């Protein structure tokens, strides 16, 4: 899978992750990640051509899943 380039101005946000990248990290579909957003587990960044997610948020969710 090829990663999408970050949107303009996103470099200051430490290269946020696209929906497809987050889905790949968790081994889920993009629809599942959208459901997680609806459930309040993830908050997308307000960037054009999104949704994009902060790496810190993804790492925190990974840590929470490992502790279970």
Question: Both tokens of residue 7?
Answer: 């949107």
Q: Report whether pLDDT(1) > 80.
A: no
Residues 5-31: pLDDT tens digits?
555 544 445 789 999 999 999 999 999
Per the model's pLDDT, the better-predicted residue between 46 and 20 turns out to be: 20
* DSSP annotation of 43: -
pLDDT (mean) for 32-39 = 96
Locate the DSSP E strands across the chain. Answer: 17-18, 52-53
Domain boundaries, the chain: 16-43
Q: What is the mean pLDDT of the chain?
A: 83
Per the model's pLDDT, the better-predicted residue between 62 and 13 turns out to be: 62
40: left (phi over 0), alpha (psi -120 to 50) or beta: left
SS3 49: coil
The pLDDT assigned to 8 comes to 53
Give strand pairing partners of 45: 52
């Amino acid at each position: 899978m090829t990663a999408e380039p970050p949107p303009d101005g996103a470099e200051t946000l430490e290269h946020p992750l696209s929906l497809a990248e987050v889905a790949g990290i968790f081994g889920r579909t993009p629809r599942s990640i959208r459901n997680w957003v609806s459930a309040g587990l993830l908050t997308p960044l307000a960037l054009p051509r999104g949704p994009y997610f902060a790496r810190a948020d993804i790492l925190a969710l990974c840590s929470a899943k490992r502790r279970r």
